[in-house]
Structure 1
């Protein structure tokens, strides 16, 4: 049987290309020439007999390349944990990079304080990938990230999962907007009143309208692809939208926003991470669980 190995220096070069997006940027990070980066990638591809990177802008890994990048990140994480066991974590070493995926509303509210606590205790930098909670699990499957906040309760292959809690959304609008469009009375009003949506994959408002018996395709839409700006658009009266309590409680109490009624939309959130039993990755998971316990509602049982 043919014995094959993956040279770690070549694998790290591939990971640098994918992380940085171009061969030139990877060369600057590795303090070598772009030609040297290209030669290393070619050597690794020849050794493994696979095309590992699509030479586009930005460069992206093929399926085979993603597997090599995933291995490289796992080894870097395990190396960090081993040095910590030796008591060498305090030495001036390059921080380990942890790529994580998170949905926009979590990122804008409760997620970052947990990471800040971890960063104060460990030499780590975070490479955050923002995506809808329904799609972050795909970044785990591809090996792009090591951990993700996701709405998917079923573990991704090779991953551990733990519940974080539930983010509850309520339909709100400014009093002026609600009065102008006759909200919340009747399906006709909801069919006519403009909506604020995060992007074209945001289905929270569509889900709410369906539960109220309104055709979700009827209303016109503003697309505002940033969590804080989305909330601002609703508070400025551009349209109505579903906001979590983090972004609406004070305004509702002050009368600057009004509830539009109907059922709230509950989004259960889970933390999934690679099954590496890494102390650093576990520290991130523990910090997120603590923060989520105070910020999110407890996970609701299926029978509730």
Structure 2
């Protein structure tokens, strides 16, 4: 039988980052939470937490925390039948979800808001590139993910959300400076451009598909969706922007599409653990509804 009070102590420290804050959320002393965790580690013969600032879980620690998340969601469903308000395990019920930054900056908050209004469950969102969010599911770090990976994940079910549409944009001043004779392959290949991070290949894919060129120009690394748009507006470089985020800038002529109407669509999917928990079903319903309304078909 698993020692759930001790696993709850491990989860609290991982969630809060320190033994002190973890203890505070459980209403016990740092010494008491340390003793619980040390005792569990001794019984299992394995380290569960890498002490540091913040504290990090080992692989086994992460596995136990993921198991606890599942158990607490199921307990949350039956708590009313037991005459209790919530699972009463000393911490809020939380669903961990992996989502890409562009979704979080545009359509996904609509799903979060609807879910939060209807449940007492909190969300713990992990930001990751849409091509890698499914890995968070496979490792057990999250219970659900917005992903561009249509491959099945064991123990999970996947549904299509829609297409996230991007437009290649630049400011008029940038176009006047770098494309005085119009946008063409050679000029595009050497012009400064923006990338979100090392996994962001959208600009390269678009340039290859539309102009048949490889990008060799100066690269600005901008790991923020809104800063990405802001710096494009300031003429720092060109880049692929979420169309829903920049439509008004295009209408106001503050941004210009490099090739009008030549968009890039990234198909998105919702992959969620096959766990018969009402909270997960509600979240899935809201995510699919937001995708239906706000993503391209």
TM-score normalised according to structure 1 size:
0.89
Pairs within 5 Å for 1:257-296: 257-261=255-259, 263-296=262-295
Structure 1 residues 277, 96: closer, same or farther in 2, change over 3 A?
Answer: same
Pairs within 5 Å for 1:206-285: 206-211=204-209, 212-216=211-215, 218-261=216-259, 263-285=262-284
| 1:175-229 superposed Cα distances (whole Å, 9 cap, x missing partner) | 121121017532221122111221222111122223222223x111222211112
Matched residues in 2 for 1:192 and 1:85: separation? Answer: 65
Matched residues in 2 for 1:91 and 1:99: separation? Answer: 17
Q: How far did 1:90 drift?
A: 8.4
Secondary structure in structure 2 of the residue aligned to 1:57 = coil
For structure 2, which runs of at least 5 residues remain unmatched after alignment? Answer: none
Structure 1 residues 84, 192: closer, same or farther in 2, change over 3 A?
Answer: farther
| 1:224-281 superposed Cα distances (whole Å, 9 cap, x missing partner) | 2111121111122111111122122222222222111284321111111111021111
Partner of 1:55: 51
2:128 to 108, 127, 131: 131
Matched residues in 2 for 1:129 and 1:290: separation? Answer: 21
| 1:108-154 superposed Cα distances (whole Å, 9 cap, x missing partner) | 11111211111111111111111111121122222222111111112
> Is 2:32 aligned against 1:36?
yes
Confirm or deny: 8 A CA contact 1:196 1:223 kept in the other structure: yes
Pairs within 5 Å for 1:164-203: 164-182=161-179, 184-203=182-201
Matched residues in 2 for 1:66 and 1:90: separation? Answer: 23
Partner of 1:302: none
Confirm or deny: 8 A CA contact 2:156 2:272 kept in the other structure: yes
Pairs within 5 Å for 1:73-88: 73-84=69-80
Matched residues in 2 for 1:138 and 1:252: separation? Answer: 35
Q: How far did 1:40 drift?
A: 1.1
> Is 2:41 aligned against 1:7?
no
Q: How far did 1:85 drift?
A: 5.7
Aligned CA-pair RMSD: 2.1
Pairs within 5 Å for 1:139-150: 139-150=136-147
TM-score normalised according to structure 2 size:
0.91
Structure 1 residues 74, 129: closer, same or farther in 2, change over 3 A?
Answer: same
Confirm or deny: 8 A CA contact 1:94 1:123 kept in the other structure: no
Matched residues in 2 for 1:86 and 1:116: separation? Answer: 29
> Is 2:102 aligned against 1:96?
no
Matched residues in 2 for 1:48 and 1:137: separation? Answer: 29
Paired residue total: 293
Matched residues in 1 for 2:280 and 2:73: separation? Answer: 8
| 1:4-39 superposed Cα distances (whole Å, 9 cap, x missing partner) | x21110111111111111222212222222222222
2:68 to 66, 72, 94: 72
Matched residues in 2 for 1:201 and 1:225: separation? Answer: 11
Secondary structure in structure 1 of the residue aligned to 2:129 = coil
